Amino acid sequence: MKIQIVTVGKPKLDYAKQGFEEYFTRFSRLHTVRHTVIADKYAYDAGHIMEVTKGTVRVILEITGVEYTSEQLADFLQKRELESREVSFIIGGPEGLPQAVRDTADYRWSLGRLTLPHDLAMVVTLEALYRASTINAHLPYHK
């Protein structure tokens, strides 16, 4: 499965850099994954964000989106894999995503009702995707 992780900026805090790299490496063993970094100057440029996700299934991270258990997220990934299209998980900046990007999203995913620091949201997203993928691959990571 092809997956694109789109983030506004890169993790800046040491713990987040380490966590992001760790889970990106693990996740990349199970899928073809690429990380697209949106420069801060394009954080609210809907056209730019939509261009880098053109032709993909757009999943935006948004506090009002659907919350999934790990098993439900695994099911979501399996269904997207059957569609044979690249999936872009889009993590906006600290102020969220432009309305035009939100309006064109195929899916809205919430990590929960808590507001998370931007860096932590990147790590949690990758860990959740990795965990869901290990469920689908019948690996022992998920307990």
Report domain extents, the chain.
Answer: 11-136
| pLDDT value of residue 23 | 98
Percentage with pLDDT > 70 across the chain = 99
- Give the whole-angstrom CA distance, residue 120 versus residue 93: 12
Tokens in use for 46? 């809907």
Averaged pLDDT for residues 74-95: 95
Determine how β-strand 57-67 pairs with β-strand 87-91. parallel
On whether the pTM is more than 0.85, the answer is yes
Q: Look over the chain and give the mean of its residue pLDDT values, rounded to a whole number.
A: 95
What is the Cβ-side half-sphere exposure of residue 121, based on CA atoms within 13 angstroms? 28
When pLDDT is cut at 50, 70 and 90, the band that residue 142 belongs to is confident
Residue type, 109: W
Distance CA(57)–CA(120), nearest Å, equals: 24
Instruction: Give the phi and the psi of residue 10 in degrees, each rounded to 5.
Output: -110, 160
| pLDDT at 94 (0 to 100) | 82
Report the top-level CATH class of 11-136.
alpha beta
Distance CA 42, CA 45 (A): 5
Helix axes 118-136, 14-28, angle to 10 degrees: 20
Q: What is the pLDDT of residue 95?
A: 85
Alpha helix segments (H runs only) across 30-98: 46-52, 70-83
DSSP class per residue in 93-121:
BTTB--HHHHHH-SEEEES-SS---HHHH
Q: How far apart are CA 42 and CA 123, in angstroms?
A: 21
Q: What is the mean pLDDT of residues 21-43?
A: 97
Q: Is the pLDDT of residue 127 over 90?
A: yes
Terminal-residue alpha carbon distance, the chain = 23
143: pLDDT strictly greater than 80: no
| Whole-number pLDDT of residue 115 | 87
